[in-house]
A and B are shown apart, each in its own frame.
Chain A
């Protein structure tokens, strides 16, 4: 009986501590994430008549002028379409290429597995710029330079290793008995794959696919190397706005949000699809 008050006190202390921790973490989040995004939002809403010059802390007037201009800017709409199409294609291609390879890595024991795994990781380690330059030369020779298919292939180099690892991690959890049973009952390897492995690995496909889409959507370096100036995705567009002689902050802010909003939304959906960090950590964390 004497232990009871002590326990209550510790719980109360723990609760107070948790509350302080919560306050601290959310304050940090507000300062480092919410505040910068709010400033970017203000920049996108600057009224061109009033402008926003130092030392004014807030713009002299707000308007949707720059957002409305987006609707009229055909090159920007073209960039959005290009970005979405490329990202969809990269996601589909990564999924299809990764499926059999991930299965082999997850379920088939073989000797060179460690070496193959390391090779698959290499594109995540070797700087994308080098691959970009090498692939630019290669594509130039086969006529893929400055083309959308070229950009799709170049981006897939970066997303495929991640997709293979996420899928392999999901497939490891599929009981081998199920596949054996299907095979014993006369299913061809292809049928067994399509009816057992693919449905059971589906959460991996969904999570890996969404993350692939996002990483393709925000990819800049390889896209720029292979596709610019002909293929203009949103990141290339933002680069052009920021890296040019005259920086137009309101325009950059608008492009920022067009880039950011789909990425963040899809990322949240992927998080829900994964339910836990397993796939993401498996894809990135364990080298």
Chain B
């Protein structure tokens, strides 16, 4: 058994680093958002920044748009990734190579994904050039009000990520279970809905959650591909902080975004532990 002292010595480098460089800045952002910051104008305690955030329609639009841009790409990616993850469980020629190649977008920087969307989907981009002789055209997809370009860029990176995580969950299901169900007369769809999906649910929720929160604070892709209005809250935050030097407002936006991200995380823990209890510990 290890002494308490030794334990803290072991934990200190990693946890200490994160307290100092993650916990502290986050705490400072919280203080700045309520007017107690140490940089800029010290106004004393105030909720003005939050009041401005929640009363100004441009920021409310930004918040709504942020949620739209978190929910829609996540759902689109899940719809594409789920069947692919299932398909990857079966054997086919060239499976090994495919399993490596499909992951390439995982390491492609978001800005590069944005660039690729520009050269392909923008007006005058490659796809519209190819379609033009056929008499077809693309709708506006870059800087458009539905943010199709952003959704494509995010999904392009998120689909392989989800396939990896969900595939991992599916692969850890013992092959006996689906085989037994098939022997007992269940068809493929039943096996998927009644066995594979429930058992893979922790992986699916993890994948959904990581994609959902992973993009909440991104501002490079939305700034490059997004419409002029509305802007994501993270883009407003960047502008408030760096162009208008309004740290209080920027911090308030940051705290709201963090609270949303953490709320999603708590819901996730609730849901998965409920599932675990419901399945009597069968589900990891």
Give me the interface of A with B, judged by CB distance under 8 Å: 17-19, 21-22, 25-26, 29, 32-33, 36-37, 39-40, 43, 54-57, 96-104, 108, 110, 116, 119-120, 122-131, 133-138, 140-141, 153-154, 156-157, 160-161, 164, 189, 214, 218, 220-221, 224, 235, 238-239, 242-243, 247, 249, 252-253, 256, 259-260, 263-264, 266-268, 271, 277, 280-281, 284-287
Is B164 part of the binding interface, using a Cβ–Cβ cutoff of 8 Å?
yes
Check B15–A157 contact: CB distance below 8 A. no
Check A284–B11 contact: CB distance below 8 A. no
Chain A CB count within 10 A is highest, among B24, B39, B109, for: B109
Q: Cβ of B21: which chain A residues have Cβ within 8 Å of it? A: 135, 138, 153-154, 156-157
Question: Among the listed A39, A55, A221, A267, which residue makes an inter-chain contact with B107, where contact means beta carbons less than 8 Å apart?
Answer: A267
Is B98 part of the binding interface, using a Cβ–Cβ cutoff of 8 Å?
yes
Q: Bin chain B's interface residue count.
A: 35 or more
Check A285–B207 contact: CB distance below 8 A. yes
A76 to B26 alpha-carbon distance, docked (Å) = 34
What's the minimum C-beta distance from B225 to chain A, rounded to whole angstroms? Answer: 10
Q: Cβ of A19: which chain B residues have Cβ within 8 Å of it? A: 92-93
Q: A238-B111, A256-B115, A287-B210 are in contact. Are A18 and B91 (CB under 8 A)?
A: yes
A104 to B13 alpha-carbon distance, docked (Å) = 11
27 pairs of residues in contact across A and B, judged by CB atoms under 8 Å: A22-B94, A25-B84, A29-B98, A36-B116, A37-B116, A57-B126, A97-B17, A100-B11, A101-B12, A104-B7, A125-B261, A126-B22, A127-B218, A129-B217, A129-B234, A129-B254, A130-B258, A133-B25, A135-B21, A154-B21, A218-B107, A220-B220, A224-B220, A256-B112, A256-B115, A264-B107, A287-B206
Nearest A residue to B209, CB-CB:
A287
Q: A33-B105, A164-B14 are in contact. Are A220 and B110 (CB under 8 A)?
A: yes
Is B28 part of the binding interface, using a Cβ–Cβ cutoff of 8 Å?
yes
Check B168–A285 contact: CB distance below 8 A. yes
Is B147 part of the binding interface, using a Cβ–Cβ cutoff of 8 Å?
no
A156 to B13 alpha-carbon distance, docked (Å) = 12
Is B101 part of the binding interface, using a Cβ–Cβ cutoff of 8 Å?
yes
A-B contact count, CB below 8 Å? Answer: 264
Q: Cβ of B169: which chain A residues have Cβ within 8 Å of it? A: 285
Q: Cβ of A96: which chain B residues have Cβ within 8 Å of it? A: 13
Question: Among the listed B24, B84, B258, which residue makes an inter-chain contact with A127, where contact means beta carbons less than 8 Å apart?
Answer: B258
Check A97–B13 contact: CB distance below 8 A. yes
What's the minimum C-beta distance from B10 to chain A, rounded to whole angstroms? Answer: 4
Other A-B pairs beyond A130-B258, A189-B6, 5, CB < 8 Å = A126-B261, A129-B254, A133-B25, A253-B119, A264-B107
Chain A CB count within 10 A is highest, among B21, B29, B39, B209, for: B21
What's the minimum C-beta distance from B226 to chain A, rounded to whole angstroms? Answer: 12
Question: Among the listed A56, A110, A271, which residue makes an inter-chain contact with B7, where contact means beta carbons less than 8 Å apart?
Answer: A110
Question: Among the listed B164, B167, B241, which residue makes an inter-chain contact with A133, where contact means beta carbons less than 8 Å apart?
Answer: B241
Q: A122-B22, A133-B250, A243-B224 are in contact. Are A103 and B10 (CB under 8 A)?
A: yes
A38 to B213 alpha-carbon distance, docked (Å) = 31
Check A101–B15 contact: CB distance below 8 A. yes
Check A120–B10 contact: CB distance below 8 A. no
Nearest B residue to A211, CB-CB:
B107
A157 to B39 alpha-carbon distance, docked (Å) = 22
Nearest A residue to B202, CB-CB:
A286
Check A157–B111 contact: CB distance below 8 A. no
Which 9 pairs of residues, A with B, have the shortest CB-CB distance?
Answer: A127-B217, A134-B25, A101-B14, A130-B254, A218-B109, A18-B92, A104-B10, A54-B124, A281-B168
Question: Among the listed A37, A127, A286, which residue makes an inter-chain contact with B254, where contact means beta carbons less than 8 Å apart?
Answer: A127
Q: A43-B119, A98-B14, A137-B39 are in contact. Are A25 and B164 (CB under 8 A)?
A: no
Interface majority SS on B: helix, strand, loop or mixed? helix
A99 to B14 alpha-carbon distance, docked (Å) = 8
Question: Among the listed A153, A260, A285, which residue makes an inter-chain contact with B206, where contact means beta carbons less than 8 Å apart?
Answer: A285
Q: A127-B213, A218-B107, A221-B219 are in contact. Are A285 and B120 (CB under 8 A)?
A: no
Q: Cβ of B26: which chain A residues have Cβ within 8 Å of it? A: 126, 130-131, 134
Check A25–B109 contact: CB distance below 8 A. no
What's the minimum C-beta distance from B169 to chain A, rounded to whole angstroms? Answer: 7
Nearest A residue to B105, CB-CB:
A33
Is B251 part of the binding interface, using a Cβ–Cβ cutoff of 8 Å?
yes
Q: A22-B93, A55-B129, A125-B262 are in contact. Are A277 and B164 (CB under 8 A)?
A: yes
A174 to B40 alpha-carbon distance, docked (Å) = 51
What's the minimum C-beta distance from A215 to chain B, rounded to whole angstroms? Answer: 8
Question: Among the listed A36, A125, A129, A277, which residue makes an inter-chain contact with B213, where contact means beta carbons less than 8 Å apart?
Answer: A125
Check A131–B255 contact: CB distance below 8 A. no
What's the minimum C-beta distance from B131 to chain A, rounded to whole angstroms? Answer: 10
Check B29–A40 contact: CB distance below 8 A. no
Check B109–A259 contact: CB distance below 8 A. yes
Q: Cβ of A108: which chain B residues have Cβ within 8 Å of it? A: 2, 7, 10
A285 to B12 alpha-carbon distance, docked (Å) = 25
A175 to B213 alpha-carbon distance, docked (Å) = 36
A36 to B105 alpha-carbon distance, docked (Å) = 11
Q: Cβ of A119: which chain B residues have Cβ within 8 Å of it? A: 15, 18, 23
Check A235–B109 contact: CB distance below 8 A. yes
Q: Which of B24-50 contact A (CB under 8 A)?
A: 24-26, 28-29, 32, 37-39
Nearest B residue to A105, CB-CB:
B11
